[in-house]
Amino acid sequence: MDERRTLRVSEAVREELSEIIGFEMDDPRVLEAEVTEVYVSPDSRHATVKIACRGDEKKQNHAIAALEHAAGYLRRELAFRLALRHVPELHFERDKNPEVESRVDFLLRRARRSKPREES
């Protein structure tokens, strides 16, 4: 698969998983989980999902276990929402950086920096 297409698919999967996990899952173990990045393999068969979790290591491990358990549900929801020939098999990993900032905050800060300043 083309590298640009792989990046677009990765971003689309990240957006949809963020919405599903953040707003539609009822499992209390994933309330503190946030999808930070998704890497889709070039053949679009596998996706590694990086998860940032708040709390101690025990809570983080429970959140990853809950997401692994719900991988079939999440994959089926992705199939309904995205027009992909192959919906990737999901593999969840804890994000190594514990001080991960929200992607929205990052994008807002970047937009403020790139906005031209008005001169007086």
Q: Residue 16: which domain range?
A: 3-114
CA distance 51 to 36: 6
Angle made by CA atoms 101, 110, 33, in degrees to the nearest 5: 20
Number of domains in the chain: 1
Does residue 22 sit within a domain?
yes
Does residue 119 sit within a domain?
no
> What one-letter code names the amino acid at 83?
A
Does residue 30 sit within a domain?
yes
pTM for the full model? 0.76
> What one-letter code names the amino acid at 56?
D
Contact 34, 51 (CB under 8 A): yes
Mean pLDDT by 10 residues, the chain (120 residues): 86 92 88 88 92 85 92 93 91 76 63 63
Does residue 26 sit within a domain?
yes
Any idea what the CATH number is for the domain that residue 54 is in? 3.30.300.20
- pLDDT for 120: 47
CA distance 59 to 96: 15
